[in-house]
Amino acid sequence: MAFSSGLGAIDAVVKLLQPGDEVISTNDLYGGSYRLFRQVFEKMGIVFHFVDMRQLDVVKEKLNDKTRLLWVETPTNPMMQVIDIKKMAELTTGKDILLAVDNTFATPYLQRPLELGADIVMHSATKYLGGHSDVVVGALVVKEKELADRLYFIQNASGAVCGPMDSFLTLRGIKTLHVRMQRHCENGEKVARFLADHPAIEKVYWPGFEDHPSHAVATEQMDAYGG
């Protein structure tokens, strides 16, 4: 389902919850998501925990009978942390907990969270999916019809729908996604390696480096390391 922005899509997901429900998310999170969680939904009685989701034990410590959503962003914006989606899915299996993945930085070309156990995938299509810096769009993708129907209702009731021109521009962008993502990955690697060898640069955060803390996870769940 297509939304008027990525934040509009995230807003719909959180509206699945009730006051008193708890959400576990990463401590390196896109600023707009953090602002929406803390300054809008926290005031409505939803409890958020921000932890290093690369540490499975830390996530387990926060799980309780009020947990209803794991919000995973991977790779994260801005520090390029990579979170193991399969391990997060194992934590929610058999429980009344949704696993949602912000797949904006990877795109479906490099990472497919539904195949790794996620219930909901969110994209800010404003970025790679649109690809031309001329559109603001969000998207949610789910597998289960019951969940889709709940989200369709929320979207229709709240009105964060995608306009026809935005739809057209995003469909245009998706046609070249594969070519653009390949080049983004190639260029990203060249830039990362150049900067890593530059005497003026202290640290480069890129999961393609073998010494990156999340290199193994990125290699396992992504087809390449992104832009």
The amino acid at 21: D
Arch. (CATH architecture) of 2-172? 3-Layer(aba) Sandwich (3.40)
For the chain, give the percent of residues with pLDDT over 70: 100
**pLDDT for 6:** 98
168-192 b/e with 16+ CB inside 10 Å = b? ebbeebbeebeebbeebbeebbeeb
139 φ, ψ (degrees, to nearest 5):
-145, 145
CA distance 127 to 123: 9
Q: How confident is the model at residue 35 (pLDDT cuts 50, 70, 90)?
A: very high
Secondary structure of residue 161 in the 3-state scheme:
strand
Mean of the pLDDT values across residues 76-89? Answer: 96
**pLDDT for 28:** 97
**pLDDT for 133:** 97
β-pairing verdict for 120-124 and 138-142: antiparallel
**pLDDT for 207:** 97
**pLDDT for 147:** 98
**pLDDT for 113:** 98
Q: How confident is the model at residue 106 (pLDDT cuts 50, 70, 90)?
A: very high
Residue corresponding to tokens 């934040």? 7
Dump pLDDT digits (tens) for 131-187. Answer: 999 999 999 999 999 999 999 999 999 999 999 999 999 999 999 999 999 999 999
Mean of the pLDDT values across residues 85-102? Answer: 97
- Tell me what the pLDDT averaged over the chain comes to: 97
**pLDDT for 91:** 97
Secondary structure of residue 182 in the 3-state scheme:
helix
**pLDDT for 99:** 98
Dump pLDDT digits (tens) for 186-200. Answer: 999 999 999 999 999
pTM: 0.97
